[in-house]
């Protein structure tokens, strides 16, 4: 059975959290369709999870790329999010740039350690953190 299609209202309603419709479709296809939740319930869960995580202010509105170390990024998130440990997050990168910060949450939205994600952390000495897209 093919995956349910995403309603245009759901996609539009997530653009404040995800920078592009393409990413929203990807997240639904890759994670949402096997969650057992409707698209609406899945993205509401994403929204609840995002509300738990505080992003360090220095990283919120970059108008130009900056250079950081993966450790600086990890420490900034741990410092700002009580209960989050270094073992509960991974800073992911490619050969030059930060791609994402992955943070593990339990089903009740509390921080938890996750060795399976932390193992895939960025091993670069310094990486570029891109400017924020989309205004």
Q: Give the 3-state secondary structure of residue 78.
A: helix
Q: Please give the pLDDT value at position 77.
A: 97
20/73: higher pLDDT? 73
18/135: higher pLDDT? 18
Residue-wise pLDDT tens digits, 9-63:
888 889 888 888 898 999 999 999 999 999 999 999 999 999 999 999 999 888 8
As a whole number of angstroms, the distance between CA 37 and CA 30 comes to 13
The whole-model pTM stands at 0.84
User: What is the rounded average pLDDT of the residues 66-94?
Assistant: 96
Domain residue ranges in the chain: 8-52, 57-129
Q: What's the angle, vertex CA 105, arms to CA 103 and CA 107, rounded to 5?
A: 155
Residue 135 banded pLDDT, cuts 50, 70, 90? very low
């Amino acid at each position: 059975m093919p995956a349910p299609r995403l309603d245009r209202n759901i996609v539009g309603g997530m653009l404040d959290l995800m920078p592009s419709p393409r990413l929203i479709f990807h997240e639904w296809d890759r994670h949402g369709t096997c969650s057992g939740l409707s698209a609406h319930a899945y993205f509401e869960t994403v929204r609840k999870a995002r509300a738990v995580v505080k992003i360090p202010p220095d990283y919120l509105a970059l108008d130009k790329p900056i250079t950081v170390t993966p450790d600086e990024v990890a420490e900034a998130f741990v410092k700002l999010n009580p209960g989050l440990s270094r073992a509960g997050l991974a800073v992911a990168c490619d050969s030059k740039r930060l791609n994402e910060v992955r943070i593990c949450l339990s089903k009740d939205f509390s921080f938890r350690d996750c060795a399976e994600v932390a193992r895939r952390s960025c091993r670069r000495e310094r990486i570029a953190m891109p400017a924020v897209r989309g205004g």
